[in-house]
Amino acid sequence: MASFASRRLQKERAEWRKDHPFGFSAKPMANPDGKGQNLFRWICGIPGRAGTPWEGATYKLTMDFSEDYPGKPPKCKFVFVNGKVLFHPNIYPSGTVCLSILNEDEDWKPSITIKQILLGVQDLLDNPNSASPAQAEPFQLFTQNKEEYLRRVKQQAKDVANGGQKLFRITVVVDFMTPHTVLLATTKPFAKDAVDAIKLICEEHGLLFEKLEGYKDRAELYEAVASAEACIVRSDVCDEEFFSHAKKLKVLVRAGAGVDAIDLPAATNHGVCVQNTPGQNSNAVAELAFGMLLAHKRNHFDGNSGTEIRGSSLGLYGCGNVSRFMILAAQGFGMDIYAFDPFLTPDQIADLGAEPLYDVPSIFKCDVVSLHVPATRETKRSIDEKLLRSMPKGGILINTARKDFWVHVRQIIQEADLLQALAERPDLSYLADDKPDNTEEIKEALGASRVKKQFLVTPKKMGAQTAQANSNSGIAAAKQIVEFFRGGLVKHQVNINGKHF
């Protein structure tokens, strides 16, 4: 018997065929095996309005529905243009549309139709919402240099009209008679409860579960992944050689947010959909950051008097999932909280409980600065000597951000500048989840007595090393694999057109 979501989508399809706006298109995508259509994934076309810089092109957009539809809205993503995200202030780097009627916590209603969604997105194209920025460069140009913004939009329209939008698809040939094999492959074992939960989810949905934990040799991994169609990993390296051995692999899910150890272009070239599970480890990372801060302020509990954090100022650079938990903890300790995020408006930051600041240098005036931005082209090596020197007396810099595994210069701190700042300023401290590449040089420059007072780092990335985060991320990964095989849903996909964003 068809589910409620399926019946609603069938009705939507019939209504669209009967009547739809001129120039628009919307239909379920064909199944990869060529048999029938996938009602839960649609490909749509939105024409640019005449008389606007968007005219002359039809913009492709995918709609992914879940079994919770219409209780929950579909996820709408624009197809990339020549390998780049659609240039618009309200389109996230992933291509996802930021629109209130597509947010179940804002204006989404079960009565909203596909036709209404597409008309709403068309209106958004030429009428960006400056109160909800999702993409930094177009937002800045739209608000500060309208002429250049319009020029970029017109050029994009020409690119789209000339065939620049090509849909990236992972080919999945589904054999309903043969269960899919899911491999849990990790050098760092999951908690037993997490493994049991992952196995249960797989088996409840007819998937075969296999486990390879604590492997010492890459050959073991290559042998195990050869027969897997889905794989769950943690911080395991998945490179070209890995994918060349994974001939049957269709989906790889990183149990956690960071995908720095996965070669995304290689995955794309081998037709593997890569996903992550953002938000599952956020509280664990925030607790680690505060734990390190408290230990440092109490001199590592060596018996000497320390200092309190109440009344100190905390500056958050980046205001995502981890920062939200940092704010809650800081409120409990009575800290003054400030934040800057180029993708959030001042009102959005204020709603989270922090006082908004308007640039990175302002954040570095706080007593404690905590970094929560990814290593991207925009942020790489952005924390330099000038910012470090600007920190107040007794300043503490906390870094729980990740490096890029493949391009090591894509770390947000210039580590040579960090060494120099710490050496020149005995009052400055650095606390980090994962030691910098020049750790030994820093220790040598400071000497044993100053290292204890200024430098506290974990031996490896440990922010997510809690039983709860372990379980949450593993369960989320298993559920995403089920959704992938059941309906082709690519929730939290991170390799679109081979781009790492």
Q: Which string of DSSP letters, residue by residue, matches 146-206?
A: HHHHHHHHHHHHHHHHTT-B----------TTSPPEEEEEESSPPPHHHHHHHHHHHHHTT
Q: Which string of DSSP letters, residue by residue, matches 198-259?
A: HHHHHHHTT-EEEEEES---HHHHHHHHTT-SEEEESS--B-HHHHHH-TT--EEEESSS--
The answer to whether the CB of 222 falls within 8 A of the CB of 228 is: no
Q: Measured between alpha carbons, how far is 336 from 367 in angstroms, rounded to an integer?
A: 10
Helix (H) or strand (E) holding 25: strand 25-30
Q: Measured between alpha carbons, how far is 262 from 235 in angstroms, rounded to an integer?
A: 9
The answer to whether the CB of 457 falls within 8 A of the CB of 439 is: yes
Is-catalytic flag, 273? no
Helix (H) or strand (E) holding 34: none
How far is the CA of 300 from the CAs of 57, 256, 257, 390, 467, in angstroms? 62, 29, 30, 26, 24
Residue of 98, 202, 273, 319 marked catalytic = 98
Burial pattern 34-61, b for ≥16 Cβ within 10 A else e, equals eeeebbbbbbbbbbbeeebbbeebbbbb
Q: Which string of DSSP letters, residue by residue, matches 251-311?
A: EEEESSS--TTB-HHHHHHTT-EEEE-TTSSHHHHHHHHHHHHHHHHTGGGSSS-----TT
Task: Find out whether the peptide bond into 70 is cis, omega within 30 degrees of 0.
Answer: yes
Q: What is the DSSP letter of 96?
A: B
Annotated catalytic sites, by residue? 98
